A and B are shown apart, each in its own frame.
Chain A
Amino acid sequence: DAGVIQSPRHEVTEMGQEVTLRCKPISGHNSLFWYRQTMMRGLELLIYFNNNVPIDDSGMPEDRFSAKMPNASFSTLKIQPSEPRDSAVYFCASREGLAGSSGANVLTFGAGSRLTVL
């Protein structure tokens, strides 16, 4: 299994440009999470999907951010227009089914997309 695949691994763009980050979850996993990681704030949950349906997008910082999951094997996170404060590492994670009976939220993370907005 190739794990969770994210692209691009690195993106450098200028303020005002549109950024699209992509994620392919593990086959058979039916929950998908987008996180953002910065030194100051750590890992923050942006949005998550269960069975391709967005469940909670309360972590999305602004209307400039949007996420879609058109099918079980693909998701995108889009920032339009991008700003320097959006610079961070964006992680996608997937999970098989719901959190287990133990409550353990066993997420498998991708390697992340490092975004720099100049």
Chain B
Amino acid sequence: QKEVEQDPGPLSVPEGAIVSLNCTYSNSAFQYFMWYRQYSRKGPELLMYTYSSGNKEDGRFTAQVDKSSKYISLFIRDSQPSDSATYLCAMTPFYNTDKLIFGTGTRLQVFP
């Protein structure tokens, strides 16, 4: 079993829809959680990060962490075609914040 599981998609939604992207993990030592966005033929770029449980909002994006369920989510409101990309969750354990473990990514397509 992988440490971080993520549905690969693809997820196809109309413009303006609310998108929910999710990851589950098995290692209870994970304490720092990030979402990276990767456009086709590009490297991943950091979108958001959160520490421990709770919510964090940044514009149209909201990151949510539920440590009791070992479940994290990224919500995108009013999705745009420019949001079409692969979204990768990533996390690090408290004992080694250098070691970033990625999910395999969910491909999102927002059509006009």
Binding site for B on A (CB under 8 A): 4, 31, 33, 39, 41-45, 48, 50, 55-56, 91, 93, 98-99, 102-112
CB within 8 Å for A99 and B97 given contacts A104-B32, A105-B92, A106-B46? yes
What A residues does B32 contact at CB under 8 A?
99, 102-105
CA distance A50 to B34 in the complex (A): 21
Q: Is the CB of B41 within 8 A of A111?
A: yes
Cβ–Cβ contact B97 & A45, under 8 A = no
Are A104 and B49 interface neighbours, CB within 8 A? yes
**B31: chain A residues within 8 A (beta carbon):** 103
Contact in complex: B100, A107 (CB < 8 Å) = yes
B42 proximal to A (CB < 8 A): yes
Expressed in whole angstroms, the Cα–Cα distance for A56 and B100 within the complex equals 12
Across the A-B interface, give the 9 residue pairs with the lowest CB-CB distance, nearest first.
A109-B43, A103-B32, A42-B104, A99-B97, A43-B102, A104-B49, A105-B100, A103-B97, A109-B44
Which residues from 74 to 112 on chain B have a C-beta closer than 8 Å to any C-beta of chain A? Answer: 88, 90, 92, 94, 97-105
Give the chain B neighbours of A108 by CB distance below 8 A: 45
Q: A42-B104, A91-B44, A105-B98 are in contact. List 4 more A-B contacts (CB 8 A).
A: A103-B49, A105-B32, A109-B43, A111-B41
Residue of B nearest to A35 (CB): B102
In the complex, how many angstroms separate the beta carbon of B62 from the nearest chain A beta carbon? 17
In the complex with contacts A42-B105, A112-B43, A103-B94 CB distance below 8 A: yes
